Structure 1
Amino acid sequence: MQTETIVYIIIAGITALLLALFQYIYKSKIKSNLKYLLTALRTISIFGILLLLINPKFESFTYFDEKPTLVVAVDNSESISYLEQDNNAKQIVDKIKTNADLNERFNVASYSFGKTVNNSDSLSFNERQSNLSKALKQFGEVYSNLTAPIVMVTDGNQTYGSDYSFMANGIKQPIYPIILGDSTLHSDLSIKQLNVNRYVYLKNGFPVEIITNYNGTTSITTELKIWSGNTVVFRKQLQFDASKTSEIVSTTLLANSVGVKTYRVELTPLSNEKNTVNNSKNFGVEVIDQKTNIALVYTRLHPDLGALKKSIESNEQRSVTLIKPKDYLLKPNDFQLVVLYQPNHEFNAVLEAVKTQKLNTFTIAGTTTNFNILNNSQGYFKQTVTNQTENFQPTLNRNYNTFIVNNLDFNNYPPLQSEFGELQFMVPHDVILYKTINGISTEEALLSTFEIDNTKHALLNGEDIWRWRAQAFLDTESFTDFDNFIGKLVQYLSSNKKRNRINIDYKSFYNGNDDVIITAQYFNKNFEFDAEASLTIILKNKETETTREVPLLLNNTNYTVDLSGIEPGLYDFTVKHNSEAVSASGSFQVIDYNVEQQFLNADITKLKSVAENSNGTAYFNNQTDNLIDALLADNRFATIQKSTKNIVPLIDWKYLLGLIVLSLFVEWFIRKYNGLI
């Protein structure tokens, strides 16, 4: 208790006593000894009231021992079983988890990881991808304020994410890799990487870049071939030796027909090669007839222009041309969609041309938009002109039903600047994003779409959309989510397809290790999203003629099905309603490729680098006992005594209040009984 509080209590006691003495002793007419009892009761009452006002408190300390945490993370990817290390991994984990000395010294926390991190309830070694960098990052964040050495049971072969060898410097915990896999170097040919565009254009050549590797000491000769079906479309002789261990091969192939085309790249294996799986790799391209050309008309330079161009062109099927209004008028028939960025008086002729030709538009308004001109150029919406600006944050309309919108966290996005005033639509429209001010929704459209006279239009009433793209990268370390959102909006605007009651979202082909996820939205007859529908996908393998039915599960405003792990091949599918005659169909191809089977050895170099940079040590799978001894002997992992400080009141106010009431009542009763009242 603080000295100041003690002084207040002493002063309160003296004050209470003096007031009681003044009332019952100094000028009291009571002659009997009763006055001393009344003085004591009055002193108690006054002192209790003053204590309630002072509310004295004292500090209470509770001491406890905190053991360090031992994080055991096991690589659950297919490469472990492919290298025949699955039994070794299980034995290592069991030995660590059942060691009595380790459990007495540490709180052992077990995890498994592939593409994501999971609690280690069981190990199946069937994860199709491994992301060590994400696992290390998550462990570093979760245990940043604790003593928690990390034991990584892995082969060190990463197929997804950033390079984990640079992660150790940002993690406060020492890392102890247990290396699974053969450390013996074998002669091996492999296709390390293959670079090709996902989309190509009919009758055009498309580049293919192949990075080939050789591990070995002798001089060898092999042949690289690219197959299209049963036909070799490219071949080249390659030579490697101890000094030349890699070669980049570039060529150009011709796209002859529309659709998904698959190819196979292969290196002729060595006579004594142990792993031939990594000698070949399949890839696919989608041949399209033409590119969607989009005009981005502007008069004012702004970061939004670059952000929009990058987002739209992230899909290679689309091309964006930045163009001034006067230049657009020279070639108005070259574009399938016109993006009007902050129209002003220079847009008069463009707005008239777009209206006359009945083109689809995406209008973006902001602080320099001339709303008088924009309002007069069309009869779809009117913005009240106030010549004042306001910042509006976005809120996603979960009931938007025109196309599938990914569940982006728009509430975390920065505000956009726009004209302050009411926006009124004169035609039916669908709102994607509402305006929000200080967390309060205005129920006014920030981003909306509408269809009129067989044309499609969108209006974004705000500038600085480049901040949204930057925020998307901060949230996910990728522009993909935001680019997909803009891409779907542009795809809708540049297409003349009519609205369907079932919308489906999928890719035309998937690589063998991709997640095969198909998303659907179902709407009732009024085109309102139905969250109680029962949807099923019928999947048919075109090569084997086998079919399977899988139900779709509701996920917010989408129905999704995860088909990951299906056999490579061509598939047709139909998403149908189980009680209505409503369906949507499509097709895709899964290309045979297992990235987890491309490795012959453990990546010892990177694992040792991670251990060294984090002040840990790397061990091989037969050195588990050495690791246990090192952990038990390391003074950095000692049990720490900690204390918890609790500030509690000196006297419970309920009891103190009861004492005050009791003393006042007894004092009143005595005075009443003796005729002093």
Structure 2
Amino acid sequence: MSLTTVLYIVLAAVIAFVAAFFQYGYKTSKHTGTFILPVLRFLAVFSLLLLLLNPKVTSRQYQNLRPTLNIIADNSASIEYAKQGDQVQGLINRIAKNTNLNKKFDIQYYSFSDGLHPLDSLTFNKPETNIVKTLKTVNQLYKNKVAPVILITDGNQTYGSNYEFYTSNQQVYTVAVGDTLRYDDIKISRINVNAYTNLNNKFPVEVFVQYDGDKPVQKTLTIRQKNTLLFQKQFRFSAQQNSRKIQFYLPANSVGIHHYTCAIATLDNEKNTVNNRKPFIVEVLDEQAKILVLSTINHPDIGMIKRSIETHKQRKVVIEKELNKDIQFKDYQLVILYQPTSKFDKVFKKLKENTTNYFIITGTKTDWKFLNNAQAVFSKKNISTFENYSAALNTGYDEYLVEDIGFSKLPPLEDYFGDISFSVPHKILLYQKIANFNTQNPLLATFTMKARRGAVLFGENSWKWRMLTKVENRSFEKFDTFFNKLIQYLSSEKRASQLEIRYNPFVYANGTMVI
């Protein structure tokens, strides 16, 4: 209660006394009962004034509480494998016997493996370790309290998020047990490869190798199929150049599922050699693909398309300019529509009746008003102005592996200027670039619509791309490989009969592989 409130209460008592005195004080009486009336008047007036003041009385109680200290011990099998069980148990016993700690803290003991558990006894036989889940449970138990954690662990986690990037609400003090020395290591971190390829084709492989060490080393990367060596090359690694992205091509000479093993040579005295090898699988298919090209105009792009696609022995291109014929789309794996106009009306109606994959290429002869109405995949708000569009590779494209053939140096394609929008799921392979300014509009994009795959290239004169790669590399191979991978993706039929499971295996210290 504040001093001001106390003064007001005293003033109220004075006012009540004065009121009682002026009403009853001047009267004289021999009866003793007359003294009760002024007292009652005083109490009545004082109580009324006290209610008007409404004073509040605050009571404070102070209690000395000890903060909680959580001792959490790793109960997983890796502790026993590293022969650190006695050390963990010894640490807990020393904490329990420490008088100063027990006076300052309310010590709680827990064990953890797949989660947090009250500590009864440590067996060191649990197969799972989830450190992040354990710390999250502690945060929930002591949400509004100060409860620091002493975490006794070897740091080997088999499940859950990476604890290196987890921030706990409680202060965590880690006691590392086991071998805490840092050893040099080299490993294959990831392999990117297309799951399917065609017979007599060369398929790309992308391998990521990571080195964790200080001394410069030179190690050999090999690819084997059973006992046959398919690829071998040496690479240098150092503390500064500690990772490499290695790209190469392997031949597909026979039909079937082929198993490959990628391996990097081990370091001297390397502790973990399991991650030096990684297998991968590629299925080789014998598919004779027929591609139909429809166009009402003559253009160098059409000849380029035929020559580039037919560099692959398993593909044949048919060019058709008579669009009113009864075309059997089911006989083709892919239909390429070059610069559609209103003459393509019958073609689009037939395409709606089946699930044939198609590839649309637009340009200066395209009737955009018709094209926007003929299909519901994409649209373009064009104006009657042409624009030159250079290409910028989208490195995040993940439908299949794409190699940069020098897109930034290729001549621009020509098309109507305008914004492009898609109404179905799509992925941009190449972005439009106008006068060295990158845009978010697609130049080349692929899309999926139920059982159908498709693509659209917003620009003509791609024949110049093929010619320039020939000049730069003395071969059409780079462009033809890029273009044929797109054709392979578009002409491939989805395989509903096969179940494919991809996973990164975790190999436990005793050699057991856990999926």
TM-score bracket for the superposition, by shorter chain length: 0.3 to 0.5
Larger radius of gyration: 2
**TM-score, normalised on structure 2?**
0.45
Higher relative contact order (CA 8 A, sep 6+): 1
